[in-house]
Amino acid sequence: MKIIIQQNTVLKQKPVQAHELTSADKISIYSGNQYEITDYKAAGYGHLEIKFRPPHPGQRETWYIFAPHVQIIDDKIGSINQPVNINTPADINSPASSPKPASTVSSSWKWPMRGTSMGPRTEFGYARGRLHAGVDIGGYTPDECYAASNGVVEYVKNNTSGADGRSIHIRRPDGWEHRYLHLRSIRVKVNDNVSQGQLIGIRGGSGFGYEGREIDGGGYSIHLHFEIRRPDGTPVDPRLFLPNDGSVPIVG
């Protein structure tokens, strides 16, 4: 596996903002650099925990890095985030086709809508003593929500009860699932085949029996909670798969 640095950033000894660390707890790395790695996993607050192959940067095997600043090339599932040509690191901004997994569909994903980031506590990771299993996309008005990938609608809940409120679960042909919570209205039904980019609902603030109220301690009452889950149901950080194209501002 490889990690490609997409913009100047820092390696950190903790998954926190860089200004919270002393100079001894971080090192600068630069856009275009590539490193061989042995493992990676989500570490919360939008970070990845990376284990490097020797020679280790800064004489340490394990570092944390802000996920939107890097590109992971994983032989098992292909390219994560925007694909780049790993054979020409100097041309880091030129897109190229990513290796395809053993699947009938592309490994690509798209943001389900435009909006605003709601801060570190509403990113994927542990917050308020539990796992926040997705990323919240905020906004001041309801907006159209589109399918982040293709698949079949497995579950629709069209009422405001429970924490999730109005919600949709879609299963891709390769078994991966994408979930959309706190919707105001729903435009699909169970067993519908949906295509990436298809309108599936309207963002809202439903949940806990209410409509348009603050959900889960977020800064806005109106937001979409979006999840990506592996075929076994394990949630993963959506920012590892969604394009870093500025459609939702990053939290650094």
Residue 165 lies in a domain: yes
Position 76, amino acid: K
Same domain, 128 and 50: no
Same domain, 163 and 217: yes
Contact 207, 181 (CB under 8 A): yes
Same domain, 120 and 234: yes
Comparing 79 with 119, the larger pLDDT belongs to 119
The domain of 145 spans 116-240
pTM tops 0.75, yes or no: no
| Residue range 21-56, pLDDT digits in tens | 888 898 988 878 899 999 888 877 778 899 999 999
| Residue range 56-70, pLDDT digits in tens | 998 999 999 988 788
DSSP-derived letter for residue 226 is E
Among 23, 56, 91, identify where a domain stops: 91
DSSP-derived letter for residue 204 is B
Averaged pLDDT, 164-174: 94
Comparing 205 with 3, the larger pLDDT belongs to 3
pLDDT value for 84: 28
Same domain, 54 and 164: no
Residue 19 lies in a domain: yes
Residue 37 lies in a domain: yes
Same domain, 131 and 73: no
Averaged pLDDT, 93-120: 55
Contact 134, 111 (CB under 8 A): no
Rounded to whole angstroms, the Cα distance separating 25 from 15 reads 11
Residue 109 lies in a domain: no
State the average pLDDT for the chain. Answer: 77
pLDDT band at 207 (very low <50, low <70, confident <90, very high): confident
Same domain, 147 and 226: yes
Number of domains in the chain: 2
Contacts with 49 (C-beta within 8 Å, 6 or more apart), sequence order? 15, 40, 41, 42, 43, 62, 63, 64
Other CB atoms within a 10 A radius of the CB of residue 233 amount to: 8
| Nearest partner of 204 among 126, 118, 131, 141, judged by Cα | 141
pLDDT value for 75: 64
Among 58, 91, 124, identify where a domain stops: 91
Same domain, 38 and 135: no
Q: What is the CATH number of the domain that holds 138?
A: 2.70.70.10
Residue 111 lies in a domain: no
Residue 222 lies in a domain: yes
Phi-psi region of 72 (alpha: psi -120 to 50; beta: other; left: phi over 0): beta
pLDDT value for 101: 36
